[in-house]
Chain A
Amino acid sequence: ETGVTQSPTHLIKTRGQQVTLRCSSQSGHNTVSWYQQALGQGPQFIFQYYREEENGRGNFPPRFSGLQFPNYSSELNVNALELDDSALYLCASSLEYGVYEQYFGPGTRLTVT
Chain B
Amino acid sequence: DAKTTQPPSMDCAEGRAANLPCNHSTISGNEYVYWYRQIHSQGPQYIIHGLKNNETNEMASLIITEDRKSSTLILPHATLRDTAVYYCIVDNYGQNFVFGPGTRLSVLP
Interface size, B (range): 20 to 34
Question: Using a Cβ–Cβ cut-off of 8 Å, how many residues does chain A contribute to the interface with B?
Answer: 26
Do the beta carbons of B42 and A106 come within 8 Å of each other?
yes
Q: How far apart sit A56 and B85, CA to CA, in the bound complex (Å)?
A: 26
**A18-44 to B contact mask, C-beta < 8 Å, 1/0:** 000000000000010101000001111
Do the beta carbons of A99 and B42 come within 8 Å of each other?
no
B-contacting residues, A37-85, CB 8 Å? 41-45, 48, 56, 58
A44 to chain B: which residues have CB within 8 Å?
99
**Which residue in A42, A100, A101, A106 is a CB contact (below 8 Å) of B43?**
A106
A97 to chain B: which residues have CB within 8 Å?
93, 95
Q: How far apart sit A45 and B94, CA to CA, in the bound complex (Å)?
A: 12
**Which residue in A4, A43, A98, A103 is a CB contact (below 8 Å) of B99?**
A43
Q: How far apart sit A42 and B42, CA to CA, in the bound complex (Å)?
A: 12
Which of B2, B32, B87, B94 has the most A CB atoms < 10 Å from its CB? Answer: B94
**A interface residues, Cβ below 8 angstroms from B:** 4, 31, 33, 35, 41-45, 48, 56, 58, 90, 92, 94, 97-107
A-B contact pairs, 21 of them (CB 8 A): A31-B95, A35-B97, A41-B101, A42-B2, A42-B101, A43-B44, A45-B96, A45-B97, A56-B95, A90-B43, A92-B43, A92-B44, A97-B93, A99-B93, A102-B46, A102-B95, A103-B46, A105-B43, A106-B43, A107-B42, A107-B43
